[in-house]
Amino acid sequence: MPDTPASFTVKIAENDGELRAAQALRYDVFVRELGGGGEMVDHAAGLEMDRFDPFFDHMLVSDDTTGEVVGVYRLLRSDQAGRAGQFYSENEYDLAPLKASGRKLLELGRSCLHRDYRGGTAMFHLWNGLADYVAQHEIEILFGTASFHGTDVQALAQPLSLLHHNHLAPPELRVRAKAFQPMDLVAPQDLDRRKAMLDVPALIKAYLRLGGFVGEGAFVDHDFNTTDVCLILDTARMNDRQRRLYTGTRN
């Protein structure tokens, strides 16, 4: 972490160089740190990429002091998904309930921060940039897969069961995993709720604080060495406190 407080710039990537900076950070986090992979990953160049990248908007947060891209988010609206042929998450989840809703959808993915900026204000700036994007495009439902590290489902039984029992999406928004891995692995009375929540990744906890839900079933992604859940956030269901958390505003 820099010795002095950093200032940040948030923007959508506008050229190949900025896209490559996003892909390089993703490689550092998802491949080097977490052991992920994929058909189009360029190990020689150190870039994590896939066929969907040309269709997404890529939100970048840069440290103004160094100019380095230190955080990224990948964003796909319904019109962009139409050009791509599908949403990325459709490889893992049946999104029929969301697509049938008639509401404006935004898929989120590949969210990550450089290791030196975690726990600081960079994520706050990225989050506020996302809020501005949602307002600009009048998005109504945000969704996307989020990951637990590793593919040993039994090791994740407590946090997965906590999400299933306490945060399952209502039926009209309840997407379902295609290669279905049940999440209700521990009965409610047997949950260690405190430990289970400590084991939930920070990004998932952030969405839960905003009133987010999870879809039914997990998806074990062996390519990325993760166990994924589908997060869903309906902006119409957010209360005033959650809206303030989301936009960073205060009374």
Q: How does pLDDT run across 203-248, given as a tens digit for each residue?
A: 888 889 888 999 999 999 888 788 999 999 998 887 666 666 666 5
pLDDT in the model for residue 251: 44
39: DSSP letter: T
Integer Cα distance of 143 and 106 in angstroms: 6
Band the pLDDT of 172: cuts 50, 70, 90. very high
**Hey, what are 118's tokens?**
């975690």
The residue type at 229: V
Give me the pLDDT at residue 90, please: 94
Most confident of 12-21, 118-127, 199-208, 231-240: 12-21
Three-class SS state of 216: strand
Q: What is residue 250's predicted lDDT score, i.e. its pLDDT? A: 47
Whether the pLDDT of residue 20 is over 60: the answer is: yes
Least Cα distance to 55 among 86, 22, 33 occurs for 86
* pTM score of the predicted model: 0.87
For residues 173 and 213, the answer to whether their CB atoms sit within 8 Å is yes
Q: What average pLDDT does the segment 37-65 reach?
A: 90
Tell me the average pLDDT of the chain: 89
- Tell me: pLDDT of 34 over 70: yes
